[in-house]
Amino acid sequence: MGAQIIDGKAISSAIRQQIKQQVMELQQKTGKSPGLAVVLVGEDPASQIYVRNKEKACQEVGIYSEVYRLPQETSQQQLLDLVHQLNERQEINGILVQLPLPDHLDEMTVLRDISPDKDVDGFHAVNAGKLLNGEKGFVPCTPKGIITLIKSTNVDIKGKDAVVVGRSNIVGKPVSILLLNENATVTICHSKTADLKSHTQRADILVVATGKPNLITGDMVKPGSVVIDVGTTRVEGKLTGDVHFASAKEVAGWITPVPGGVGPMTITMLLQNTVEAAVSQWKL
């Protein structure tokens, strides 16, 4: 037996086809393409790969993109100046500043200076607040992708016990809110959680975003559950998830692989948010 694999790559490419079509229609209607600016500070190798993947994905669907590769020693003011310029530019509908930033830069200040209307990452305090209040705004890409993957299984989220491991502002907290909005009963676990296994074992839906490779083993998984592995850590050159795939897949009902699960969906949702930004800025 074993779990069914949730194929993030396949689901992603189907959605990207739709986005491509939508971009073509927008071009015909307005003569313009949605535009995304990606800002990368420093030389972190993982960030460079993600940024390249985002650039390629934009090209694939016809979204105009600009990538700014700034040196490690960029000052806070230089970065803010660039963000302010991008806020003003008509042809840029979405702005993404790749995280983490080098230690001498203040992430919160930089994120707050991105215009909330162009915050396609959904990290601005205004968009985070809207998510919390159930108002319409940009939803962070990884959490949005996770909900899409769960829905692809046709498992009804309503009334289910959902357990999220991790409470970061970019994954754990927003995915917990989205699951709550879908009427799951949500438990959020973190590094101070007393007995992690007692929680994960009860999870009908388990989302793991810790960056701790193989933290969740098969014995911690509820039989038949939906397991979403967000972690991407390079271990001896191999991209490794937070879930021990071989043991967990014997127990779960559905499971996402790493790579090929959440990662491609994150980028697809970024494309979706960028189109959404253009449509709203163009007042269509």
Ligand X SMILES: NC(=O)C1=CN([C@@H]2O[C@H](COP(=O)(O)OP(=O)(O)OC[C@H]3O[C@@H](n4cnc5c(N)ncnc54)[C@H](OP(=O)(O)O)[C@@H]3O)[C@@H](O)[C@H]2O)C=CC1
Q: Which of 6, 227, 267, 271 binds ligand GUE (CB under 6 A)?
A: 267
DSSP string, 107-148: HHHHHHHS-GGG-TT--SHHHHHHHHHT---PPPHHHHHHHH
State the minimum distance, in angstroms, from the CB of residue 181 to ligand X: 19
Residue where the block lists tokens 């990538």: 67
Active-site position among 98, 117, 242, 272: 98
Question: Is 166 annotated among the ligand-binding residues?
Answer: yes
Q: Which is nearer to ligand GUE, 157 or 170 (CB)?
A: 170
Choose the contact partner of 264 out of ligand GUE, ligand X, none; CB within 5 to 8 A by kind.
ligand GUE
Choose the contact partner of 112 out of ligand X, ligand GUE, none; CB within 5 to 8 A by kind.
none
- Site membership for ligand GUE, residue 272 (CB under 6 A): no
- Site membership for ligand GUE, residue 49 (CB under 6 A): yes
Kindly report the backbone phi and psi dihedral angles of residue 109, in degrees, each rounded to the nearest multiple of 5, phi listed first: -65, -45
Residue where the block lists tokens 């694999």: 5
- Site membership for ligand GUE, residue 99 (CB under 6 A): yes
Give the C-alpha separation, 25 to 53, whole Å: 24
Give the C-alpha separation, 185 to 179, whole Å: 8
Give the C-alpha separation, 263 to 239, whole Å: 11
Residue 54 appears among annotated catalytic residues: yes
Question: Is 232 annotated among the ligand-binding residues?
Answer: yes
Strands 4-5 and 64-70: unpaired
Residue 98 appears among annotated catalytic residues: yes
Give the x/- contact pattern for ligand GUE in 61-90, rule: CB under 6 A.
------------------------------
DSSP string, 191-238: TT-S-HHHHHTT-SEEEE-SS-TT-B-GGGS-TT-EEEE---EEETTE
Residue 144 appears among annotated catalytic residues: no
Q: Which is nearer to ligand X, 115 or 210 (CB)?
A: 210
- Site membership for ligand X, residue 200 (CB under 6 A): no
Interface residues with ligand GUE (CB under 6 A) are 49-50, 53, 96-99, 121, 141, 232, 239, 258-260, 263-264, 266-267
Residues annotated catalytic, as ranges? 54, 98, 121
